[in-house]
Amino acid sequence: MAYLVSHPIQYQAPLLRRIAQAPDIDLTVFFGSNFSVQEYVDKGFGVDVKWDVPLLDGYRHEFLPSIWDKRRTGPTAQLSYGIFSRLRESKEADGFDVLWVHGYSTLNTLQAMIMAKALGIPVLLRAESRLGKKRSGMLKQVTKSLFFSGLKQLVDAVLPIGSANAAYWRHFLGEDLPQFLVPYAVDNDYFQSRSREAASRREDLRRELGLDPSRPVILFASKLQGRKRCGDLLEAYLDLCSEIEDEPDEPVPYLVIVGDGVERAALERRAKESGVSGVRFCGFRNQSELPRFFDLAAVFVLPSQDEPWGLIVNEAMNSGRPMILSDDVGCQPDLVTDGVEGCVFPVGDVKALTDALRRVLTEPGTANAMGERGLKRISGWDYEQDMIGLRQAIAFVTRRLSR
Reported confidence tier of residue 249, pLDDT bands at 50, 70, 90 = confident
Q: Give me the pLDDT at residue 41, please.
A: 60
- The whole-angstrom separation of Cα 18 and Cα 169 is 26
Is the confidence at residue 42, as pLDDT, over 70? no
Burial 285-311 (b: 16+ CB within 10 A, else e): eebebbbbbbbbbbbbbbbbbbbbbbb
Is the confidence at residue 206, as pLDDT, over 90? yes
Q: Give me the pLDDT at residue 44, please.
A: 58
Please name the CATH architecture into which domain 188-379 falls: 3-Layer(aba) Sandwich (3.40)
Which is nearest to 218 in space by CA: 276, 309, 307, 293? 293
Reported confidence tier of residue 92, pLDDT bands at 50, 70, 90 = low
Q: Give me the pLDDT at residue 114, please.
A: 96
Give me the mean pLDDT over the 397-401 stretch: 72
The H or E element that residue 66 is part of is strand 66-69
Q: Give me the pLDDT at residue 300, please.
A: 98
DSSP string, 327-358: TTBTTHHHH--BTTTEEEE-TT-HHHHHHHHH
Instruction: Work out the percent of the chain whose per-residue pLDDT is above 70.
Output: 94
Amino acid making up residue 84: F
Q: Give me the pLDDT at residue 90, please.
A: 66
- The whole-angstrom separation of Cα 148 and Cα 177 is 12
- Phi, psi dihedral angles at 83 (to 5 degrees): -70, -35
- The whole-angstrom separation of Cα 267 and Cα 285 is 18
For the question of whether the overall pTM of this predicted structure is more than 0.85, the answer is yes
Is the confidence at residue 364, as pLDDT, over 80? no
- Phi, psi dihedral angles at 43 (to 5 degrees): -60, -40
Reported confidence tier of residue 51, pLDDT bands at 50, 70, 90 = confident
Reported confidence tier of residue 403, pLDDT bands at 50, 70, 90 = very low
Q: Give domain limits for the chain.
A: 2-185+382-398, 188-379
pLDDT per residue as tens digits for the range 115-164:
999 999 999 999 999 997 766 778 888 889 899 999 999 999 999 999 99
188-379: same fold as 2-185+382-398? Answer: yes
Rg (CA), the chain: 22
Reported confidence tier of residue 43, pLDDT bands at 50, 70, 90 = low
CA distances from 87 to 100, 109, 264, 359, 393 (A): 12, 13, 46, 55, 19
Q: Give me the pLDDT at residue 91, please.
A: 60
**Where does 250-363 have alpha helices with state H?**
264-274, 290-296, 311-317, 332-335, 350-362
Is the confidence at residue 223, as pLDDT, over 90? yes
157's CB contacts (< 8 A; 6+ apart) are 122, 124, 125, 177, 178, 179, 180, 393, 396, 397
Is the confidence at residue 45, as pLDDT, over 90? no
Average pLDDT, the chain: 92
Please name the CATH architecture into which domain 2-185+382-398 falls: 3-Layer(aba) Sandwich (3.40)
What's the DSSP call for residue 218? E
Reported confidence tier of residue 391, pLDDT bands at 50, 70, 90 = very high
Burial bucket for residue 341 (CB in 10 Å: 0-12, 13-18, 19+) = buried
